[in-house]
Structure 1
Amino acid sequence: MVLGDLRDLRPVTRPSTAELIAEQIRSAIVRGTLVPGAQLGEAELAAHFEVSRGPLREAMQRLLSEGLLYSIRNRGIFVAELTFDDVVDIYRSRRVIEGGALELLLDGRREHTWRELGTAIEAMRDAAHRGDAAGVSDGDQRFHEILVESAGSPRLVRAARTLLVETRMCLGALQTTYPDLHRQVDEHVVLRDAIRSGEADDVRRLLAEHLHDTVSRLRERQDADGVITSRSRA
């Protein structure tokens, strides 16, 4: 059988060691295992992952470029610390990215998106029944990942990825800004149903209000408890 000209085809690639290391460190930052301001020792991490320093440094460089780590000359590499101004900027950026994704999925991808969002809703609902705030936040993050993925734009997905990780960093040990976990689920149910059949302007408003309200709740907690850490890189 003649396959034709294969010159434009690329070999199938697997994740590199650096990519796998970066994903594990990224996940540890999200979970709070690596706390804001924590210093990452190159020798210790290389020994932990049982790798040479080459792929480890490549992984760290990826996370530096994503803004999840920062470097201080002659001192080392640290997990990023976020100020409240950072939080506002993160959510402002999310409104742009997720709003752009929403415009794309409203144009013929509503039913598909509604179906895909169902798994995140169920995960959130199950976690809420267990009183598992971290589990609800995991489902919340997955909801917004699916929303962006459903737009069919790889570039939007890449742009949203770091913002969602930074969102979890903002919450930190707080895990959620909602006083009632079931209210957090219900708000996402309303948004999901609107994506399926609501007026376009109503869906846009719900998404914008949803992201804005989170910042307002964080501001209230910040004023009361000082939840969001201050950046110190001196």
Structure 2
Amino acid sequence: MALPDISPVSRESTAEIIARQLRDAIMRGALPPGTQLGETELASQFQVSRGPLREAMQRLVSEGLLRAERHRGLFVIDLGPADVYDIYSTRSAIEREAVIRVMRGGNREIVALALDETVRAMAAAADDDDPTALSDADLKFHEALIAASGSPRLIRMARTLLIETRMCLAELQRTYQAVEERVGEHNQIIQAIRSGDEAQVLTLLEAHMEDAVQRLIPGASLHATPLKP
């Protein structure tokens, strides 16, 4: 049956490519929080017209990674204490549901093996004194955990949250006295998944999120009254 108003599927558009590169630059800190995005400069760097660039930037506005200020332009979002609290409390809910699905899905060992790989990458990055690679591997652990849930909606909801999390990780990693502490937290979660102890995995995951919040916002807690902007 022929459907009206349906066009052939095309390759990734210029706007999608630009949005992906800007998203990656925000995530890795190449475009730090508060940075103003200048159309003229970016169009020159990407060697494109302003049309696809504006489309790409509007995508990031809709994702919440850029904010628009009237008469001033577009800026990379700043993450204040209330934002950090919101990111981790929402992630906690999403990853909790992902864990429940993993633990009841019958493929725990496959999931554990995938998570093992990310933790090995964390350890290797620590040995190489590469904080960027360490944070990337940390994020991949949580991406893999959510992906293992098999829920496209959990994966979709987590996408922007994990980019915002990556923005927090540079600050978070400064709070650890030893990298082994960070690696150990993730290994404990994997061990609990392997053992089949759902309650223990959830407890460890909650403690992991709570620890991150307390490191990033001294005196705050996911169990306390939510922070307000």
TM-score (norm 2): 0.87
Aligned amino acid, residue 184 of structure 2: D
Question: What residue is the counterpart of 1:218 in the other structure?
Answer: 216
Instruction: State how far apart, in whole Å, the 1-side matches of 2:216 and 2:190 are.
Output: 23
- C-alpha deviation, 1:46, in angstroms: 1.2
Question: What residue is the counterpart of 1:209 in the other structure?
Answer: 207
Aligned amino acid, residue 84 of structure 2: V
Question: What residue is the counterpart of 2:42 in the other structure?
Answer: 45
**1:93 and 2:90 aligned:** yes
Question: What residue is the counterpart of 1:151 in the other structure?
Answer: 149
Instruction: State how far apart, in whole Å, the 1-side matches of 2:86 and 2:174 are.
Output: 19
Q: How does 1:9-28 map to 2 (within 5 A)?
A: 13-28=10-25
Q: How does 1:76-91 map to 2 (within 5 A)?
A: 76-91=73-88
Aligned amino acid, residue 218 of structure 1: L
- C-alpha deviation, 1:177, in angstroms: 3.4
- The answer as to whether partners of 1:66 and 1:162 remain within 8 angstroms in 2 is yes
- C-alpha deviation, 1:6, in angstroms: 9.6
Q: Please, which runs of 5 or more residues in structure 1 have no aligned partner? A: 223-230
Aligned amino acid, residue 198 of structure 2: A
Instruction: State how far apart, in whole Å, the 2-side matches of 1:123 and 1:33 are.
Output: 22
Question: What residue is the counterpart of 1:198 in the other structure?
Answer: 196
Aligned amino acid, residue 130 of structure 1: D
- The answer as to whether partners of 2:94 and 2:158 remain within 8 angstroms in 1 is yes
Q: For the aligned residues, what is the CA RMSD? A: 2.3
1:109 to 104, 107, 110: 107
- The answer as to whether partners of 1:168 and 1:175 remain within 8 angstroms in 2 is no
Instruction: State how far apart, in whole Å, the 2-side matches of 1:144 and 1:14 are.
Output: 29
Q: Deviations over 1:33-61 (max 9, x none)?
A: 11111100112111111112121111111
Aligned amino acid, residue 166 of structure 1: E
Report the CA distance shift for 1:76/1:117 in structure 2 as closer, same or farther (over 3 A). Answer: same
Report the CA distance shift for 1:100/1:11 in structure 2 as closer, same or farther (over 3 A). Answer: farther
**1:166 and 2:161 aligned:** no
Query: Counterpart of 1:220 in 2: which secondary structure?
Result: coil
Aligned residues with identical type, % of pairs: 52
Q: Deviations over 1:146-189 (max 9, x none)?
A: 00011111221111111111112224455453221111111111
- C-alpha deviation, 1:31, in angstroms: 1.5
Instruction: State how far apart, in whole Å, the 1-side matches of 2:38 and 2:167 are.
Output: 20
Instruction: State how far apart, in whole Å, the 1-side matches of 2:116 and 2:86 are.
Output: 29
- The answer as to whether partners of 1:133 and 1:176 remain within 8 angstroms in 2 is no
Instruction: State how far apart, in whole Å, the 1-side matches of 2:115 and 2:182 are.
Output: 15
Report the CA distance shift for 1:60/1:115 in structure 2 as closer, same or farther (over 3 A). Answer: same
**1:30 and 2:27 aligned:** yes
Instruction: State how far apart, in whole Å, the 2-side matches of 1:109 and 1:83 are.
Output: 38
- C-alpha deviation, 1:218, in angstroms: 1.2
Instruction: State how far apart, in whole Å, the 2-side matches of 1:216 and 1:200 are.
Output: 24
Instruction: State how far apart, in whole Å, the 2-side matches of 1:175 and 1:73 are.
Output: 35
Q: How does 1:1-12 map to 2 (within 5 A)?
A: none
Q: Please, which runs of 5 or more residues in structure 2 have no aligned partner? A: 221-228
TM-score (norm 1): 0.86
- C-alpha deviation, 1:133, in angstroms: 2.4
- C-alpha deviation, 1:78, in angstroms: 0.3
Aligned amino acid, residue 32 of structure 1: G
Aligned amino acid, residue 83 of structure 1: G
